[in-house]
Structure 1
Amino acid sequence: MLPSAIVSMTEFPLNSNGKIDRKALPAPEFTMERCDKVAYVAPQSPAHITTCEILASLLGVDKVGLDDNFFVLGGHSILAMKAIMAIKQAIGIDINIVNLFEAQSVRELCVLVDAELLRKQLEETEEFEEEGVF
């Protein structure tokens, strides 16, 4: 797990019992600077565009490029499950949640999407051949 923010402090605020006063801790400042270090690479194929749009919507960002990392952009396990379900609903393919965690970039996830689409097309072609359609 990666922390979403790190706040440097010289001392912690304490409550009357001498424990850390969590309510008095400063709120972290979030900037998109950490995400802008990767140049935006636009998706090209319809499946890649759909995948990037799904991820952008779930992450609450304007756009997700092929070289972006889902988890660096703020993704976590619950959003990963939602992404898998949204991809299944929009594109009609099943991707294992483990694959999303192993993918280091959206590009790698899109390679898995392409592979699953190809596998699905091959299965459909084989079914047609068995039925004598071809």
Structure 2
Amino acid sequence: MKVQQISVFLENKSGRLAMLTKVLAQEKINIRALSIADTTDFGILRLIVDQPDAAYLMLKRAGFTVSETAVIAVEIPDHPGGLAEILDILAGAEINIEYCYALPQKSNDKALVVFRVERLDEAIRVLLEKGVGVLKEDSVYGI
């Protein structure tokens, strides 16, 4: 149920993101979700791709500073307050959320959100006990 996320350190330079996406495209690696957090000098690009191991290797070979991080993809009820329900579950278990971002919607009644949390295994257990859908990696890579 853990999903491998690729994180890439990018300088804020024209064309750097284009170069990264070109490397992935040449290797036929499809981006499923992304998030960029930036400062004036650099950014951290977080990616969910269909082939995380291959993406990691290709980006390393291309000279990018790359790391892998385990995250979870969670089904969120797609109604007002749906995200709040999930956050309350995690807060009740005193599990800190480091960051989150959305994935493409899987169905009309669920939204999908990627979470990086402290105590990942405990977060998965608590969410499953509460009946929350935590997607398996193959489901996420195949979106």
The verdict on a shared fold, with TM-score over 0.5 as the criterion, is no
Q: Taking structure 1 as the reference length, what is the TM-score of the superposition?
A: 0.24
Say which structure is richer in strand. 2
Q: Taking structure 2 as the reference length, what is the TM-score of the superposition?
A: 0.23
